Structure 1
Amino acid sequence: MSTIYPVPDFSGARRHVFPSVPSHRLLAGLSCSLGVLMASQALAQTADMSGASRQSASPATTRQTLPTISVHDRRQDPNGLLRMDTANSTGSRLGLTERETPASVTVIDRETIEARGARTTHDVLNELPGVHASATHGDVNVTQRGFRGASINQVYNGINLQYSIATQPVDAWIYERVEDIGGPSSFLYGAGGVGATINYITKTAQRHDISEVQLGAGTRRYRQAAFGLNRRLAGDGSGQKDHYVRIDANHERGGQWADDNRGHSSQIVTSLLSDLGGGFTHTLAYEYQHERDYRPYWGTPVIQPAEGRQSVLERLRYKNYNSADGLYMQRVQWLRSMADWKLSDALSVKNTFYGYDAVRDYRNVEEYALDSTNTQVNRTSALLQRHDHRVFGDRIDATLRSAIAGHRSDWSFGVDVSFNRQTTYPAYASDDWESAVDPDHFVTEYFYDLPGMVSTYVPKNRHRVDNLAFYLENRTDLTPTLKLLTGLRHERIKLHFSSLDPEEVKRDGKRSYHPTTGRIGLTWDISPQTMVYAQYATAADPAAGNLASTYYSQILANDRLTTGRMLELGTKISFWGNRGSATLSVYDISRRNIATNDPRDRRVTYLIGRQDARGVEAKLGLQLTPAWSMQANVGYVDAEYKQFYRRGESLAGKTPSNVPRTVTNLWTSYALTPELKLQAGARHVTRLYGNENDTIWWPSYTVADVGFEYRFSPTVTLSGFVNNVTDRLYATESQPDMVVLGDPRSAWLTVKVAF
């Protein structure tokens, strides 16, 4: 019997922090963690007992390698040099820097986020080379290297939620940095990621004091208040029995530009870092996000007939055709327990136990199209929906510094187990419902007045994805300048779909997948300033949709995952007396087994499709003078279907929709005085195809931003930004009958005080 939930105003939703966790799984995760730690202790004791003989047998292991320390002035201009010698956690689990990794890796750190005025995570994404990001609350569209959707992994602190809607843009205040690795990365983060993996790193407690407050205000009644605090609770700072706590909070409201669209959001992250002695540290982190968006914007209808180049009526730019009480709400909670144990100089173990709990509610009319005379807007797709999503898991990582035949050889290996659960509650208006309104003068209905719409959430579909993965990574010094990097991951995935609709026949669908993916890469340090690399990597991702939201019909069709492979060559250099830095990569990616229709019967699906992408990514950083700096990146891709049918039509040679061929970013800044710095940026995106056969498109566009920063003192900074300074009308996503417009000109000021 299905459970029926009355539609609440979020305060009425079920709210335990992480309810209904099977006790045997909790115990299994904790027992697994304890078992690994005990085994690691035994390994450490064995290593200590045999240390003398090992040192005598291999002189290479006797040398002590001090950790790399990257020191820079906190006032260093983020628009200057590329920081290639800072370790990142996304391109490898071995703690490699961007320069050491045989892949295109980009890190947008906290300082850069603030300097460029990136307010949301999608603002940050659009700074990455070759990345194009657009989002409504029902669709998160991120493309890189010619791929989008489930082919782009978006992970949080290395945790893959396997669901694109979970990557809704939020305020960037709570994130320390965003890291990106281009190309296949399933061997690191699991199924998905043939195009790229983007990793959002949350702020956590540090071993130093932080006190900061930021207040902001801008156009369309935008307001922000945020603070961060990091303090030592106990101990003397020696690293023994020290405890540090951190809390960061942010609240903002306003800033929406569509008519009658308004909203607010809040985020809180807090963590406790404990040094417990004996090389053992533990971090407990909790994160809370809440967002409420009233009458959200879903798109703008294009002028008919919708063929060739798309355009919109200028006077409709700000119109909002959603229901009068349209709504999007989300509440997200994260809990992470991270234990690090350095058993010796050579061996360390990390265990991460995590839980994720999210509820998202929708009540909206989401699709609009002008009629053939452009005199009325036809409104369709009225949807009441809830997503109840939970993920629990445990990941164990170990790193070992060793030597093989006198050559340094570092290892990373581990186990990752996760349980992904999602229940959806879709409800639609009557099948024949359609509303026609005047494009300029209209009043829309209240959502629950729609025919056939009921104000209850009834569970209709349940998805369960269980995953057990084993992975291994190695980096071996073949010579002092030649390094070999290899990685391998094997997964055991079980997918189960259940239909809960009381008005339909019960249907269950099950699939099991056992992908094995990997990478082999070679780096050559031609000089301390120049390296070149080559890598071959493979990936696996769902043939259609996300595993955590796959429809019953897709489960029947997806009897196996797609296979992806990539060959990449690149170089990373510093030049001009270390006042210039650059990276360049060329790649060739092929994704096979895409779900495609039978050309003779569109109701039949085969996994025989193929998509290829070839391209170039480049980054450049220049410190032209002590006062003037510049950074730029560009991504070019030639993406096309090689074998693909949709509704009986071959799409071979066509470009996937909403995949721009070229994305270019440029930033520059100039310090007029030690206190005052001016900056400007520009972004160019080529045309976006709005359908699968490339007959309609939104033209290329360029958007420019300007800003300034004035330091009243070392602790007080005033910043101002104007985005889309020319008020360019442009679209970030194209659909056959409507487009998602980008933000019009907006301005805001922020005051940040550190104390």
Structure 2
Amino acid sequence: MTPFRRTDLSKAVACVLALPLLFARQAAAQTPAPDAAVTLDRLKVTGERMDAGAGVGTGSRLALRIAEVPATVISVGRDTLDARGVRTTQEALAAIPGLVAASPPGHGNAVTWRGFSGSQISQLFNGIDVKYASIAARPVDAWIYDRVEAVGGPSSFLHGAGAVGGSINYITRLASRDADDLQWMAAGGSHGSGVLAGGVNRLLGGPEAPGALRVDLGYSTSDGWMDRAHRESLTSAASLLTRLTDDVDHTFAVEYQKEDSDRPYWGTPAILGDDGRLRALPGTRRRNYNVSDGHYGQEVLWLRSLLAWRASERSRLSNTLYHYDALRDYRNVESYAFNDRVDGVIRSGTLLQRHDQQVYGNRLDWNWDGEIAALQSRWAAGLEVSYNRQTRFPLSIPGIVDEVPLDAVTPGSFFDVPGTSRTYAPDRTNRLHTRALTLENITWLADSLSLLTSLRHERIDLDVVNHREITAGNPARYRRDYASTTGRAGLNVEFAQDRSLYLQYSTAADPPAGILSTASFSTLRDFDLSTGHQLELGSKLRFLEGRATATAAVYRIVRRNLAIADPENPGQTRPVGQQSARGAEFALSLRPTGTLNIDANLSWSDATLDDYYENVSGVPVSRAGNRPTNTPSRVANLWLDYAMTPAWSAGMDLRAVAPRFADAANTVETPGYVILGAHLRWNLADAGSLTLRGRNLGDITYVAHAIGTEMIYLGEPSSFEIEWRSSF
């Protein structure tokens, strides 16, 4: 691993500080004479529309421009998702500098960002946290989503416990009063993949009572790039916008998602090369060692009632009442390793699992525009209550199942494994009652200087009911109350229109080990929440007459009180560990000519286990100074699109990820990789567009995620697809 030197960080800080100043002279040169007519760049201000669902507020609930928020805030809109051929919510995340994600079935959506992963990254749905993101945020077909937003670093002050490394928000399309609209798309390609999706927005009610109805529906199927894997998915969303009075709007929204994966690919056994890196044997790269009747399936239902009331010119209230219902089923043999001769695969990890989860909640927000001592000020206050209930039904069969040949095709049936059963027996039920108060303010101390502050006080009551045998380490019932107060303070200086520099300090709180919605007595005991804080310096620019934007940020994050193996008492844990990360992120969007678009991002991260002991065969071993697993030091992305003629355009995309460690000991690595994609698009004026797209054109075999030191999850090989999109 190449260390992140202090000189590198110093250079990054200097770049961030210099960016706004580099364009100050250009701004002066472009300032028109007093008598000249001025055409201002068009700015999109989110949250000002009366639509109840507008302005979810991933980075702030104050309806601010991104340039006004002193933090790294990314928004990936519908046009970008379409232009890049994004198929799932996971693929949309490449637009976030430094973020890597993979979706092994047992991990759902494993995200690493700013040196943190798992439950330290909050993944929200329309601003709602179901407290099980590492599984519940499994990639969903992207058609029903309007955009994906993200804010880097600790953000518990907005979204609750968790979010040390950042927050991601998947935002669904909603009915809009903009215009009648009809969109549809169809695609087909390699690995038996096919997609058919459509959406319609229809204005209702006439000018005196304007409303709207929107319906989106998508179906996809694929045989997968691994042997005999098959997946089908149905995603749907519908919303009805109604004007109750001149000042009150209501939106009722419902979503339904169903996914079935037969014989899902769980991973590939790996060999360790002389260079200390894990690789797949050539003959196993497309082999699926799961049982023939392996299965993963989920059904998700969302209901939301969104009310928006403009109480006065300065005051607005909004209320979100929501319900989430999910059922997830697993039936697989999940672990594979080579035998000593490397001519057969030893299979283990037999698991039948069901997750039954329901969430009920309500969030009330009040926004007010006013003054503090004659200074312009804006306030947002919120009250949120939720009830989260999840029961798990695991049937785990320990030990080795069998050994199969490297070229095995359909190796056995799940229910042939001794001890398996079709009966779901509950293990435990976790109930979370959450109450939170939030307060946020921005005050303009001068025309170009603003101070943004946020505060959240949250109380969580955890009640765990044991449905299995009662023991000292697994009591019949376990209750624990948590309380946390987190916040943010940030200064933002706008040197000129769309040129700003900011400094922010923020804090977070999260469980010391595990996830509260699935936590057991042994993982939590009497531990309090972990704490984290971040210092971030950054700048945001818009230049070349609005044809270019750039952002840069450097940060330092420290997370304390995480659970570690007790070095003095083997077999026990203590909440005294520490993990930290420092790094830099850059993003650029440039349109140098009317025919060329360039988007790029680049990140460096130095993540460290500062105080961490790992339990190795019952012996605590220090991992202090090591890098966390599956955490790359460098990530880069590039997208180019060139319009050759009004009807024809072509583009390419490039993604590069540095090597990552597969273990906390930092003795085993997965290789870094670079993958290249390209597309050719034919635009048929108002009729639509036809796109031929290739992914991983070099057919690179790369590791998307390490599952321990004997098994890896491979990324998608070379594939091609042809896609038609049209709108009316």
TM-score normalised to the size of structure 1? 0.87
Say if 2:724 is the partner of 1:747: no
Tell me the equivalent position of 1:371. Answer: 339
- Tell me the alpha carbon deviations over residues 197-237 of structure 1, each in whole angstroms, 9 at most, x when there is no partner: 0000001101121111211111111111111011123222x
Matching of residues 646-661 of structure 1 within 5 Å = 646-647=614-615, 648-661=620-633
Say if 2:704 is the partner of 1:732: yes
Contact 2:56–2:126 (8 Å) recurs in 1: no
| Equivalent residue letter for 1:219 | S
* Aligned counterparts of 2:273 and 2:444: Cα–Cα separation in 1: 62
Matching of residues 78-89 of structure 1 within 5 Å = 89=57
Tell me the equivalent position of 1:521. Answer: 490
Tell me the equivalent position of 1:422. Answer: 390
Alignment RMSD: 1.7
Query: What secondary structure, in the 3-state scheme, does the structure 2 residue paired with 1:718 have?
Result: strand
Match of 1:205 among 175, 181, 205: 175
- Tell me the alpha carbon deviations over residues 38-85 of structure 1, each in whole angstroms, 9 at most, x when there is no partner: xxxxxxxxxxxxxxxxxxxxxxxxxxxxxx96479xxxxxxxxxxxxx
Match of 2:505 among 518, 529, 536: 536
Tell me the equivalent position of 1:671. Answer: 643
| Equivalent residue letter for 1:146 | G
Say if 2:422 is the partner of 1:451: no
* Aligned counterparts of 1:529 and 1:224: Cα–Cα separation in 2: 40
Tell me the equivalent position of 1:182. Answer: 152
- For residue 415 of structure 1, report the CA deviation from its aligned partner: 0.3
C-alpha spacing 1:203/1:104, structure 2 compared with 1 (3 Å): same
Contact 2:283–2:406 (8 Å) recurs in 1: no
Match of 2:135 among 158, 162, 165: 165
Contact 2:346–2:400 (8 Å) recurs in 1: no
Tell me the equivalent position of 2:8. Answer: none
C-alpha spacing 1:350/1:306, structure 2 compared with 1 (3 Å): farther
- Tell me the alpha carbon deviations over residues 15-42 of structure 1, each in whole angstroms, 9 at most, x when there is no partner: xxxxxxxxxxxxxxxxxxxxxxxxxxxx
Query: What secondary structure, in the 3-state scheme, does the structure 2 residue paired with 1:123 have?
Result: helix
Query: What secondary structure, in the 3-state scheme, does the structure 2 residue paired with 1:99 have?
Result: helix
Tell me the equivalent position of 1:61. Answer: none
| Equivalent residue letter for 1:282 | H
* Aligned counterparts of 1:608 and 1:435: Cα–Cα separation in 2: 41
Match of 1:470 among 437, 444, 467: 437
Tell me the equivalent position of 1:79. Answer: none
Tell me the equivalent position of 2:38. Answer: none
* Aligned counterparts of 1:740 and 1:97: Cα–Cα separation in 2: 39
* Aligned counterparts of 1:518 and 1:665: Cα–Cα separation in 2: 32
Contact 2:696–2:716 (8 Å) recurs in 1: yes
- For residue 306 of structure 1, report the CA deviation from its aligned partner: 9.2
| Equivalent residue letter for 2:487 | G
* Aligned counterparts of 2:328 and 2:309: Cα–Cα separation in 1: 37
Query: What secondary structure, in the 3-state scheme, does the structure 1 residue paired with 2:81 have?
Result: helix
- For residue 275 of structure 1, report the CA deviation from its aligned partner: 1.2
Say if 2:581 is the partner of 1:609: no
Tell me the equivalent position of 1:439. Answer: 406
Tell me the equivalent position of 1:4. Answer: none
- Tell me the alpha carbon deviations over residues 261-297 of structure 1, each in whole angstroms, 9 at most, x when there is no partner: 0120001100000112231000000000000000000
Query: What secondary structure, in the 3-state scheme, does the structure 2 residue paired with 1:465 have?
Result: strand
| Equivalent residue letter for 2:432 | V
| Equivalent residue letter for 1:513 | Y
Matching of residues 62-461 of structure 1 within 5 Å = 70=43, 89-139=57-107, 140-163=109-132, 164-207=134-177, 208-236=179-207, 240-304=208-272, 308-429=276-397, 431-441=398-408, 443-461=410-428
Tell me the equivalent position of 1:22. Answer: none
Matching of residues 598-637 of structure 1 within 5 Å = 598-637=566-605
Segment drifting more, 104-113 vs 301-310: 301-310
Say if 2:549 is the partner of 1:581: yes
* Aligned counterparts of 1:534 and 1:646: Cα–Cα separation in 2: 36
* Aligned counterparts of 1:285 and 1:579: Cα–Cα separation in 2: 36
Tell me the equivalent position of 2:654. Answer: 682
Contact 2:94–2:100 (8 Å) recurs in 1: yes
Contact 2:212–2:242 (8 Å) recurs in 1: yes
Query: What secondary structure, in the 3-state scheme, does the structure 1 residue paired with 2:575 have?
Result: strand
Contact 1:149–1:545 (8 Å) recurs in 2: no
Segment drifting more, 304-313 vs 275-284: 304-313
Tell me the equivalent position of 2:5. Answer: none
Tell me the equivalent position of 1:554. Answer: 523
Segment drifting more, 453-462 vs 437-446: 437-446
| Equivalent residue letter for 1:500 | H
Tell me the equivalent position of 2:33. Answer: none
Contact 2:348–2:399 (8 Å) recurs in 1: no
Query: What secondary structure, in the 3-state scheme, does the structure 1 residue paired with 2:79 have?
Result: helix
Tell me the equivalent position of 2:532. Answer: 564
* Aligned counterparts of 2:454 and 2:680: Cα–Cα separation in 1: 44
Query: What secondary structure, in the 3-state scheme, does the structure 2 residue paired with 1:584 have?
Result: strand
Segment drifting more, 307-316 vs 581-590: 307-316
Runs of 4+ in 1 over 4 A off after TM superposition: 304-307, 502-506
Tell me the equivalent position of 1:693. Answer: 665
Say if 2:455 is the partner of 1:483: no
Tell me the equivalent position of 1:714. Answer: 686
Tell me the equivalent position of 1:511. Answer: 480
Query: What secondary structure, in the 3-state scheme, does the structure 1 residue paired with 2:645 have?
Result: coil
* Aligned counterparts of 2:217 and 2:169: Cα–Cα separation in 1: 21
- For residue 715 of structure 1, report the CA deviation from its aligned partner: 3.4
- For residue 127 of structure 1, report the CA deviation from its aligned partner: 2.4
| Equivalent residue letter for 2:162 | G
- For residue 157 of structure 1, report the CA deviation from its aligned partner: 0.5
- For residue 746 of structure 1, report the CA deviation from its aligned partner: 1.0
C-alpha spacing 1:396/1:87, structure 2 compared with 1 (3 Å): closer
* Aligned counterparts of 1:97 and 1:606: Cα–Cα separation in 2: 43
Contact 2:227–2:409 (8 Å) recurs in 1: no
Tell me the equivalent position of 2:27. Answer: none
* Aligned counterparts of 1:71 and 1:642: Cα–Cα separation in 2: 42
C-alpha spacing 1:540/1:507, structure 2 compared with 1 (3 Å): same
Contact 1:87–1:96 (8 Å) recurs in 2: no
Contact 2:657–2:674 (8 Å) recurs in 1: yes
- Unpaired segments ≥5 residues, structure 2: 1-40, 46-53
Tell me the equivalent position of 1:31. Answer: none
* Aligned counterparts of 1:200 and 1:330: Cα–Cα separation in 2: 18
- For residue 624 of structure 1, report the CA deviation from its aligned partner: 1.6
- For residue 503 of structure 1, report the CA deviation from its aligned partner: 8.3
Contact 2:202–2:213 (8 Å) recurs in 1: yes
* Aligned counterparts of 2:62 and 2:410: Cα–Cα separation in 1: 58
- For residue 149 of structure 1, report the CA deviation from its aligned partner: 0.5
- Unpaired segments ≥5 residues, structure 1: 1-67, 73-85
Tell me the equivalent position of 1:493. Answer: 460
- For residue 579 of structure 1, report the CA deviation from its aligned partner: 2.9
- For residue 507 of structure 1, report the CA deviation from its aligned partner: 2.6
Contact 1:500–1:506 (8 Å) recurs in 2: no
- Tell me the alpha carbon deviations over residues 318-359 of structure 1, each in whole angstroms, 9 at most, x when there is no partner: 100001100001000000000000011100000000000000
Tell me the equivalent position of 2:24. Answer: none
